[in-house]
Amino acid sequence: MSGHEQDNFDAKPSPGEESSPVETDGPIDPVDLIVGIDLGTTNSLVAVADARGPRVLRLGERLAGDDQEDDQEDLVPSVIRYAGEVVEAVGAAAAADLKIHPTRTVFSVKRFMGRSYADRRKEASVVPYSVVEGPRGLASVEIDGVIRTPQQISADLLSHLRDQASAALGQAVKRAVITVPAYFDDGQRQATRDAGRLAGLEVVRILNEPTAAALAYGIGSRGAAETIVIYDLGGGTFDVTVLEVMPPDPDDAEGESIFRVLATSGDSHLGGDDFDRVLIRDLIDEAIAGGDGTDRARRLAILREVGARAKIALSEADATRLVLDGSGVLPDVDRVLTRAAFEEAARPLVDRTLDACRRAVKDAGLEISKIDRVVLVGGSTRMPMIREAVEQWFGSPGYVALDPDRVIALGAAVQGSILAGVRRDALLLDVIPLSLGLETAGGAVAKLVVRNTMVPTKAVEMFSTSVDGQVNVALHVVQGEREMVADCRSLARFELRGLPPMPAGIPQIEVTFNVDANGVLGVEAVERRSGRRARVQVVPSNGLTREEVAQIEADSYTHAREDMLVHRVVDLAVNAALDVKWIQEALARVRDVLPASTTESVESHLAIVEEFIASARKDPRSVDADAFHAAKESLDKASMPVHEAAITRSLRGDGTEAS
């Protein structure tokens, strides 16, 4: 284990248009360029940070014809294939043909970094490539008679990453921060450093992965000292780290925060793969029991894949269907898997992670109540059961705003930018630079937290629905100073689902915006009657520069009058639509008792107002707010007799019930 490391609104039933933040990026001064590299067991990533904040580079190594998701391009499989002295393929290309060249393709080499062969004999026996005792007793890999140490193999991976990153940035990458697990000993750290050097990189720092995760969230850049836990559940490993964070000395302009590892714990053989297995345990048992060796391997490979897919589906849905077309090797299967059953079956696995948390907190000499916050890292922390367990155990929701697969690379880039001196320009403020709000009916914005509010801060507001019987409510969190969503920056969308059907305006949806000391925004929506709740978390300052903030502020002044008018038109349209609906319904009920002239007058007024509503929905800027308001007032006046007749009828009880 390492020691010190100095190192009244209506929520909309459907989503509207999303405003897109500016995505362009000028090159970083070459002298300042220090990339962050997450050299992972399974995947590796490269990120950079500039005034806009950290971002992972798309390394454009997409394979022709593969169906990789767009957003997966930035994850490079830590897989490499050799032919004698030659590197034959790296990354996705090597991973794709792993089964064709099992003995020449190296993966998970990180498990052997800086370790002796004697130490890693067991790990060595489960990989298809040949692990031998190399120089100085180190675990090494032999392919076609060529022996390579894990650092040489990592160097080949890093060279590939360096070249790809240089191409992506359009400038040569020479300096890097590389991350390692907190439990890496000196030998393993040195091996990682050597790998960087062999790849022609100046390794300006070896950074602990948990520290990187904390940096990505801006922890330690301001405020008081904190004790945090990093809960990292990946595909095959679980690591928990207790970190003490001390913010920089305010008198020292160049000062850095200090991150001290207080304790680590975990399980090197507990991860997402185990969750896949519990989901289809019976099928796996059957597959193991029957058939010959090759059959068994094939079946297990198929089952692993469907298991993982079903598990990922259950992170979003309450149930998923598992269909297996036996095609000879497996039985036909068609069953529904529920999240509830999955969670029950996986409970022992979750408990094992919590046991490790307990050990780590105890080893750190702390009580759980002393932990200020938990950061979630690793793809498996997308499972709701993990988020809930962590929240319950630690007593507060964990940080999940950043992508758990990318947070380490992002933090490494932040460290790189601090070391390069770029970070000084970053948006790390004690106040909220831009207002935070929620989209309301018609595409207007209700601001809950106004700009320049000090952090931490909290705001609560009640909202309702605009459509009868709405069971799902879409919430859209935005940032900016303008009145309309289209002129603001979209931060996040989420849904409050499963509301009991109620007439429009009846549900009471309490929305809370909570910005903590690190600038992380948590938004929670609760429907009072049913208790249904949903939430989302974001880092609002990500992707924004000071110049942009200033521009957004200036724009809000320029457009203030126009914005106010548009907002008024949108509100008028929402209210008028409810009036029109009510008047039409009432008119249908009492038409028989009204003189034709009254009916005709009301109908013509309705038509005028409906036209205004239609124009407002199409383009609120084209509508004259005063004329719209006048038309609505006239309709209200003209429809008085309808109103009176409806009330009379309902009092006499001789008609359909008045609303």
Q: Which residues are catalytic?
A: 38, 110, 209, 232
Min dist CB 338 to ligand AMP, Å, is: 15
Cβ proximity to ligand AMP, 380 vs 415, nearer residue? 380
Cβ proximity to ligand AMP, 53 vs 379, nearer residue? 379
Helix (H, G, I), strand (E, B) or coil at 187: helix
Of 400-439, which residues contact ligand AMP (CB under 6 A)? 405
- The residue from 266, 272, 397, 437 that contacts ligand AMP (CB under 6 A) is 272
Q: Which residue reads 């925004």 in tokens?
A: 521
Cβ proximity to ligand AMP, 400 vs 570, nearer residue? 400
Size of the site for ligand AMP (CB under 6 A): 17
Cβ contact 432:455 at 8 Å? yes
- The residue from 378, 519, 540, 620 that contacts ligand AMP (CB under 6 A) is 378
| Helix, strand and coil in the chain, % to nearest 5 | 40, 25, 35
Cβ proximity to ligand AMP, 312 vs 467, nearer residue? 312
Binding of residue 379 to ligand AMP (CB under 6 A): yes
Min dist CB 298 to ligand AMP, Å, is: 20
Alpha-carbon 336 to chain mean position: 27
Provide the 10 A C-beta neighbour count for residue 239: 26
Question: Segment near ligand AMP (CB under 6 A), from 169-177, 215-223, 372-380, 496-504?
Answer: 372-380
Binding of residue 620 to ligand AMP (CB under 6 A): no
Binding of residue 311 to ligand AMP (CB under 6 A): yes
Binding of residue 307 to ligand AMP (CB under 6 A): no
Q: Where are the beta strands (DSSP E) in 456-557?
A: 457-465, 473-479, 489-496, 509-515, 521-527, 533-538
Binding of residue 42 to ligand AMP (CB under 6 A): yes
Contacting residues for 253 by C-beta, under 8 A, at least 6 apart: none
DSSP state of 27: P
Residue 541 phi/psi, 5-degree rounding, is -80, -10
**Token digits for 489?**
């920056």
Cβ proximity to ligand AMP, 308 vs 484, nearer residue? 308
Nearest Cα neighbor of 579 from 637, 499, 500 is 637
Of 72-91, which residues contact ligand AMP (CB under 6 A)? none
Min dist CB 271 to ligand AMP, Å, is: 6
Residue nearest to ligand AMP (CB): 272
Alpha-carbon 359 to chain mean position: 28
Min dist CB 40 to ligand AMP, Å, is: 7
Q: What CA–CA distance (Å, rounded) separates 282 from 279?
A: 9
- The residue from 278, 312, 333, 354 that contacts ligand AMP (CB under 6 A) is 312
Give the bridge partners for 230, in sequence order: 241, 375
Helix (H, G, I), strand (E, B) or coil at 422: coil
Q: What CA–CA distance (Å, rounded) separates 336 from 349?
A: 22
- The residue from 19, 166, 171, 315 that contacts ligand AMP (CB under 6 A) is 315
Give the bridge partners for 489, in sequence order: 479
Question: Segment near ligand AMP (CB under 6 A), from 119-127, 333-341, 379-387, 620-628?
Answer: 379-387
**Token digits for 156?**
């080949």
**Token digits for 213?**
């995760």
Q: Where are the beta strands (DSSP E) in 144-220?
A: 146-148, 175-180, 202-208
Question: Segment near ligand AMP (CB under 6 A), from 250-258, 373-381, 468-476, 507-515?
Answer: 373-381
- The residue from 89, 308, 485, 523 that contacts ligand AMP (CB under 6 A) is 308
Min dist CB 590 to ligand AMP, Å, is: 55
Handedness of CA 450, 453, 455, 456 (dihedral sign): negative
Of 226-265, which residues contact ligand AMP (CB under 6 A)? 234-235
**Interaction site with ligand AMP (CB under 6 A):** 42-43, 234-235, 271-273, 308, 311-312, 315, 378-380, 382-383, 405
